């Protein structure tokens, strides 16, 4: 028995059967794999983690058109864990894929904001519960939910604390990809010192759609040995090298662009300067959520890109990554005709 297997046997895991309704064809289920944690700002603590933020937006925007986000994550049996479970349930998210860990603490991240609110720094502790998502339990959730898409990032694939040895990619993520055959949506999240070239290369090879910001594009291109060129040329090289169908690159206040493997290129139009900006935390997660929503609804690529960028801008007017009330979503639901279809 491997050290990892023996540790997994020692850790309590709780998984509930998914409701029958998730298997109905009218639903578009999206699995969101990875870190769910507490974001610790200098003056407050709020629930966070990219998978949680994306799931929250998908539920808030897409619930009435059959979009079902299912988190696959792990939290500790501690105060933060209880608060996160309460937050998930209050937000209307299923907790069927949430595992409970009695050995490792619920994840937390310290966030320090830049003075202008446009940037932030992260301090991410090692050895947290989401580092130990159990592969067999994740596989059961995948089999039960039959997802259309699997959202994952690179941070949740960081190496476990020694002496635990782990393969190139997180075993639970590999199990989900093998079991569900869902299409992969990779959200690059390069956080030093947790960046590994082998994990990045493996992840790029498993994704149909890849999202990153412009700084990450340059860094990824360098790590993958794609040479020096314009961003568009580097994007084309990345698509060709890894068989990616679509590359999404965000440029903050300057917009975003989409490159497809058939050579089609879209860029958001000029945007008005954002007013009432509070911070940019979670803007990229909002972008990813709306793009995933557009994929389930069959929106044209250019329209989806514009809507994702606009929504990300509105997130910057919030304090933190998610709104305090679902009323935030209502204008988008109305404008994008997401109020549901007559039965």
- Number of structural domains found in the chain: 1
Provide the domain limits for residue 94: 3-324
List, for residues 127-172, the tens digit of each pLDDT value: 899 999 999 999 999 999 999 999 999 988 886 544 455 544 589 9
The reply to whether 121 falls in a domain is: yes
HSE, CB side, 13 Å, CA atoms: give it for residue 325: 4
The reply to whether 337 falls in a domain is: no
Q: What is the CATH number of the domain that holds 135?
A: 3.40.1190.20
The reply to whether 342 falls in a domain is: no
The reply to whether 343 falls in a domain is: no
For the chain, what percent of residues have pLDDT higher than 90? 64
Residue 9 has pLDDT above 70, yes or no: no
- Model pLDDT, residue 11: 42
Prior bond to 193 cis, omega within 30?
A: yes
The residue among 21 and 291 whose pLDDT is bigger is: 291
The reported pTM is 0.88
- Please give the Cα distance from 282 to 289 (Å, whole number): 11
Q: Identify whether the C-beta of residue 51 lies closer than 8 Å to the C-beta of residue 88.
A: no
Mean pLDDT rounded to a whole number for the chain: 85
Q: Identify whether the C-beta of residue 156 lies closer than 8 Å to the C-beta of residue 191.
A: no
Tell me which residue has tokens 């509930």.
Answer: 16
- Model pLDDT, residue 137: 94
Prior bond to 163 cis, omega within 30?
A: yes
DSSP three-state, residue 204: helix
Alpha helices in the chain (DSSP H): 3-10, 50-62, 79-90, 135-145, 171-180, 197-206, 214-223, 231-242, 283-297, 301-315, 330-335
Q: 29 pairs with which residues across the strands?
A: 68
The reply to whether 329 falls in a domain is: no
The reply to whether 334 falls in a domain is: no
Residue 267 has pLDDT above 50, yes or no: yes
- Model pLDDT, residue 119: 58
The reply to whether 152 falls in a domain is: yes
- 77-86, Cβ contacts within 8 angstroms, sequence gap of 24 or more: 77/12, 77/101, 77/102, 78/105, 78/106, 80/37, 80/38, 80/105, 80/106, 80/107, 80/108, 81/106, 81/129, 83/38, 83/47, 84/36, 84/37, 84/38, 84/47, 84/52
- Model pLDDT, residue 16: 44
- Model pLDDT, residue 64: 94
Lowest mean pLDDT across 107-116, 180-189, 275-284: 107-116
* Average pLDDT of the segment spanning 259-263: 94
- Model pLDDT, residue 15: 43
- Please give the Cα distance from 306 to 299 (Å, whole number): 11
The reply to whether 223 falls in a domain is: yes
């Amino acid at each position: 028995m491997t050290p990892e297997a023996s540790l997994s046997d020692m850790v309590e895991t709780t998984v509930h059967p998914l409701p029958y309704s998730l298997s109905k064809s009218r639903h578009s289920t999206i699995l969101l794999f990875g870190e769910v944690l507490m974001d610790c700002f200098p003056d407050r603590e709020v629930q966070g983690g990219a998978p949680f933020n994306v799931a929250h937006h998908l539920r808030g925007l897409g619930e009435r058109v059959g979009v079902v986000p299912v988190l696959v994550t792990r939290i500790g049996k501690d105060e933060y864990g209880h608060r996160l479970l309460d937050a998930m349930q209050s937000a209307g998210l299923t907790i069927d894929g949430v595992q409970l860990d009695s050995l490792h603490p619920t994840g937390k991240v310290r966030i320090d904001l830049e003075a202008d609110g446009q940037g932030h720094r992260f301090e991410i502790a090692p050895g947290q519960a989401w580092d130990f998502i159990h592969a067999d339990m994740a596989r059961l959730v995948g089999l039960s939910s039959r997802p259309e898409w699997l959202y994952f990032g690179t941070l949740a694939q960081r190496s476990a604390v020694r002496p635990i040895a782990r393969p190139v990619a997180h075993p639970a993520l590999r199990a989900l990809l093998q079991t569900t055959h869902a299409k992969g949506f990779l959200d690059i999240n390069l956080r030093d010192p947790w960046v590994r070239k082998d994990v990045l290369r493996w992840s790029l090879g498993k994704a149909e759609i890849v999202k990153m910001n412009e700084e990450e594009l340059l860094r990824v291109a360098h790590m993958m040995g794609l040479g020096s060129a314009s961003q568009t040329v580097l994007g084309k090289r990345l698509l060709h090298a890894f068989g990616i169908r679509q590359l999404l690159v965000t440029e903050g206040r300057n917009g975003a662009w989409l490159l497809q493997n058939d050579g089609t290129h879209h860029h958001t139009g000029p945007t008005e300067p954002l007013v009432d900006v509070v911070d940019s935390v979670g803007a990229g997660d909002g972008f990813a959520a709306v793009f995933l929503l557009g994929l389930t609804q069959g929106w044209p690529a250019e329209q989806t890109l514009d809507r994702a960028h606009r929504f990300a801008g509105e997130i910057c007017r919030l304090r933190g990554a998610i709104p305090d009330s679902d009323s935030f979503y209502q204008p988008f639901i109305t404008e994008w005709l997401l109020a549901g279809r007559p039965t």
